[in-house]
Amino acid sequence: MGRSPCCEKAHTNKGAWTKEEDQRLIAYIKAHGEGCWRSLPKAAGLLRCGKSCRLRWMNYLRPDLKRGNFTDDDDELIIKLHALLGNKWSLIAGQLPGRTDNEIKNYWNTHIKRKLLSRGIDPQTHRPVSAGSSAAAASGLTTTASTAAFPSLAPAPPPQQHRLHNPVHAAAPSNASFARSAASPPSEDGHSSSGGSSDAPRCPDLNLDLDLDLSMSLPSSPPKTPAAASSTTASRHHHHQQQKTICLCYHLGVRNGDVCSCKAAAPSPAGPRAFRFLRPLEEGQYI
């Protein structure tokens, strides 16, 4: 039995939002906070699907959004995160305060893809696109993802000061399955690789030497208000002031102890729906 529609489509507006609709939504959320998106439209006097309201708020109306151009640093950060996470736009957005997953996704598709292609890098695999790349791989070329994606970084020694304190880097060699799950490139057709085994070649020696400060920001305690609980994305962004350094494994949804031995403060999951947890993989199992 299929899902019922989230709203009565016959009585909802679609398409671009008007200024009046925006004002109604803003006013309502200012007065009542982010709450039940399903009932919000009616309560706010909007002829919109709740889902549409949520999207409009999250991607456009939220006051903490940073509008404007991405910097080169942002570009590089997005590329690095994409190399690590694939098309997990919400996770990537979590590392760029004020940016939304939709914005980053659009930016990726319109700017960064071309930027990488102009560098000769396949934007999905972060490996060289040249015809010889597969041959190079077959011949034992050990180009890491980072050097593939950032040729300019290749000659430089591994950075020390911002060396990942997250254990992905450290744990990967001792747990190849996680290394694959966290760092496996998305399939070539642009879809997420979560659909099981793929015939796309994996990069077994993927050594993401990410020069990132991957300090994650998470609520120090589970959301208590319905509004906070209703939106993990919002809470993620709203709690950037409460910086708490935890490991990337945690942020990726790996429970402490499954594959990560990091002892960093990984509090009880920040709310029941904060993450979609990965199941620890069996040896040799691929995502």
Partner DNA sequence: AAACTCAACAACCGCCATAAC
Partner DNA sequence: AGTTATGGCGGTTGTTGAGTT
Residues of this chain that interact with DNA (CB under 7 A) are 1, 3-4, 6, 9, 13-17, 35-38, 49-52, 54-56, 59-60, 87-91, 101-103, 105-107, 109-111, 114, 186, 190-192, 230-234, 272-273, 276-277
User: How close are the terminal C-alpha atoms of the chain, in Å?
Assistant: 28
Positive or negative torsion for Cα 145, 185, 74, 97 = negative
**Comparison of 92 and 207: residue with beta carbon closer to DNA:** 92
Positive or negative torsion for Cα 11, 17, 18, 20 = positive
**Comparison of 180 and 236: residue with beta carbon closer to DNA:** 236
Distance, in Å, from the CA atom of 275 to the CA atom of 67, rounded to the nearest integer, reads 27
**Comparison of 36 and 156: residue with beta carbon closer to DNA:** 36
Q: How big is the chain, counted in residues?
A: 287
Smallest gap, in angstroms, from Cβ of residue 22 to DNA?
Answer: 8
Smallest gap, in angstroms, from Cβ of residue 137 to DNA?
Answer: 23
**Comparison of 165 and 177: residue with beta carbon closer to DNA:** 177
AA letter at 247: C
Contact (CB, 8 A) for 88 and 182: no
Tokens of 32: 């009542």
Other Cβ atoms within 10 Å of 262 Cβ, number: 21
Smallest gap, in angstroms, from Cβ of residue 244 to DNA?
Answer: 18
Smallest gap, in angstroms, from Cβ of residue 36 to DNA?
Answer: 4
**Comparison of 93 and 210: residue with beta carbon closer to DNA:** 93
Q: Which residue reads 């695999």 in tokens?
A: 125
Distance, in Å, from the CA atom of 177 to the CA atom of 186, rounded to the nearest integer, reads 15
Per DSSP, the residues of 276-287 read -PPPPPPTT---
Other Cβ atoms within 10 Å of 109 Cβ, number: 12
Distance, in Å, from the CA atom of 201 to the CA atom of 178, rounded to the nearest integer, reads 17
Smallest gap, in angstroms, from Cβ of residue 121 to DNA?
Answer: 17
**Neighbour-count burial for 135-147, b at 16+ CB within 10 Å, e otherwise:** eebeeeeebbbbb
Smallest gap, in angstroms, from Cβ of residue 234 to DNA?
Answer: 6
Smallest gap, in angstroms, from Cβ of residue 149 to DNA?
Answer: 18
**Comparison of 232 and 256: residue with beta carbon closer to DNA:** 232
**Comparison of 73 and 140: residue with beta carbon closer to DNA:** 73
**Comparison of 98 and 205: residue with beta carbon closer to DNA:** 98
Smallest gap, in angstroms, from Cβ of residue 159 to DNA?
Answer: 27
What distances in angstroms separate CA 178 from CA 31, 96, 153, 199, 242, one per listed residue? 44, 24, 25, 19, 28
